[in-house]
Structure 1
């Protein structure tokens, strides 16, 4: 479910990080403006390697009832190249919820590939892992990401504000959720619990 996961879409292969992904992920996250709406600093190449090793260790601990971090590489089938990442993990504000996240190379944007990867990740979260709810934070200025999240069916609730100093970078993030029940209504599937 976590270690050997392989999600395939029409144009993408999505699988857990592997050490061979260091250069591909580093190339993506090093692009100019990639971190414009992400409240973190871009990692170094060594930082990417450490994140990948840490992610592989988290997959050993992940369980349906507790996802420590489920980082996935997005591989473009035609180019056979890592073009981004997506995944599921604990929300950054410590609310005890499971967050969906994604990022794709500038060169592969505006083709619907980020939506394809995020939709497949959302589906995997509900249909394979059995999550009851998935949430997302999106910067209020990031209109393409807001459109993507809304296309996935997540529902806007509020903009985050008045946070403790340690979470100030998240001020202005929009909070979206989708429950398994809401997902089932939009995606009827007799195999879902």
Structure 2
């Protein structure tokens, strides 16, 4: 599926382009993004391009394995990532993930992008639920997850970036 695209009022969710490598390297190193998503920091454009190639090669809208760039419609800049994929550390439950460049945080873009992707996934795949994990101290992400309708289930300790880490574990069920 070459031209996968979801539009929202402010954003375009699309497969990453090699031309996004500079933006991806930049936002992945922003202080907030790097702190909360330390396993996704890409230190230069070459590493970002390799990551883009890997996620695009694995792209599968049916499984799903969907990792998309978040493009700001007006500026035409890639400002983040949103995705749904099986999370090995959670017995391959399907996890929602998102990250927005520090300069664009607190504007509702993570919620807008995630909501659009969730709607697409529940309408176009056989998934009946999604999982979200959030570090307990990440209040902004907790608020986003709850706005999206996820409900807290439990605390899980899973390997993350070379350490065992505590996460709040949430579920969202497809009620369609």
TM-score by length of 1: 0.83
Q: Structure 1, unaligned stretches of length 5 or more? A: 185-193
- Give the Cα–Cα distance (whole angstroms) in 1 for the partners of residues 49 and 163 of structure 2: 25
Q: Is the 8 A contact 1:39 1:169 kept in 2?
A: no
Aligned partners of 2:95 and 2:130 also within 8 Å: yes
Count residues in correspondence. 175
Q: State the Cα distance separating 1:94 from its structure 2 match.
A: 4.3
Q: Is the 8 A contact 1:91 1:98 kept in 2?
A: yes
Q: Which has the larger radius of gyration?
A: 1
2:165 corresponds to which residue? 171
TM-score (norm 2): 0.90
Aligned residues: CA RMSD: 1.9
Aligned structure 1 segments of 4 or more residues deviating by more than 6 angstroms:
165-168
Structure 1 match to 2:109: 113
Partner of 2:29: 30
Provide, for residues 86-112 of structure 1, a one-character-per-residue CA deviation record: whole Å limited to 9, x for no partner. Answer: 111111514121110000011111111
- Higher mean Cα deviation, 137-146 or 46-55? 46-55
What is the distance in 2 between the residues matched to 1:63 and 1:109? 27
Rounded Cα–Cα distance in structure 2 between residues aligned with 1:12 and 1:157: 30
What does residue range 112-151 of structure 1 map to in structure 2 within 5 Å? 112-151=108-147
**Mapping of 1:45-84 within 5 angstroms?**
45=44, 46-59=46-59, 62=60, 64=62, 66-67=63-64, 69-84=65-80
1:4 lines up with 2:7 in the alignment? no
The Cα of 1:20 is off from its aligned counterpart by 1.2
* Contact 2:24–2:42 (CA under 8 A) maintained in structure 1: no
Q: Contact conserved, 1:93 with 1:167, CA < 8 A, in 2? A: no
Gapped regions of structure 2 (runs ≥ 5): none
CA contact (8 A) 1:160 1:170 kept: no
**Greater fraction strand:** 2
